[in-house]
Amino acid sequence: MAPTKTHATTVLVVRQGGKIVMGSDGQVTMGQTVVKSGARKLRRLGDGKILAGFAGSAADGLTLFEKLEAKLKDAGGNLMRAAVELAKDWRTDRILRRLEALLLVADREHILMLSGTGDIIEPDADSAAVGSGGNFALAAARALLAETRLSAREIVERSLRIAADICVYTNTTFSFEEI
């Protein structure tokens, strides 16, 4: 019997008004069943100076948080250098290569999306998202960034709510981190 595909989540980060806010929903599904509604998919890393969120397998996302934390220590807290080193390992290590998750990480200077194929993407805009509802949340965030004077927290919350209205794998049990 093949394993049941786990779908998970929407993670969004916005930089606005000197603040960086990352938010996530809490839903975890297996097949067509919601198995958890309040999962925590965000972490502070690098002595609280870096926000990180994952979409995909929970065990794989948590493993990647640990690996990134170690790379941050080796790189003296430099997010870009740590991300490059993690991406190298993730792509070439036989075990890490099988991890099924995406990372979204941010500090005051960078917003990065990381994948197991070696991608390190720094978006042009002050927002990025991953997960099944990521494109919905990202579109909403970009519109709100361009058209309003809302705070970063308000933009993230409203954008996640819009994504939850559209994506069946996203709920309204939100968590947030801010620097």
**pTM, rounded to two decimals:** 0.92
Which pLDDT score, from 0 to 100, does residue 6 have? 43
What are the domain boundaries of the chain? 9-26+37-173
Is the model's pLDDT at 177 over the cut of 60?
yes
- Indicate the pLDDT class of residue 3, thresholds 50, 70 and 90: very low
Average pLDDT on 122-148 reads 95
Average pLDDT on 147-167 reads 96
Coil, helix or strand for 22? Answer: strand
The residues, any chain, with a CB within 8 Å of residue 57's CB and separated by 6 or more, are 6, 8, 99, 100, 101
What pLDDT, in 10s, does the model give residues 19-30?
A: 999 999 999 888
Q: What percent of the chain has pLDDT over 70?
A: 95
Nearest to 40 by CA among 61, 19, 21: 61
* Distance from the first to the final alpha carbon of the chain: 44
Which pLDDT score, from 0 to 100, does residue 2 have? 39
With respect to CATH, is domain 9-26+37-173 assigned 3.60.20.10? Answer: yes
- Catalytic member of 6, 9, 10, 29: 9
Annotated active-site residue 9? The verdict is yes
- In eight-state DSSP terms, residue 4 is P
Give the DSSP letter string of 97-161: GG--EEEEEE-SS-EEEE-TTS-EE--SSSEEEEETTHHHHHHHHHHHHHH----HHHHHHHHHH
Is the model's pLDDT at 7 over the cut of 70?
no
C-alpha dihedral sign at 10, 120, 63, 99 = positive
Is the model's pLDDT at 101 over the cut of 70?
yes
Residues forming a β-bridge with 112: 105
What pLDDT, in 10s, does the model give residues 110-127?
A: 999 998 788 899 999 999
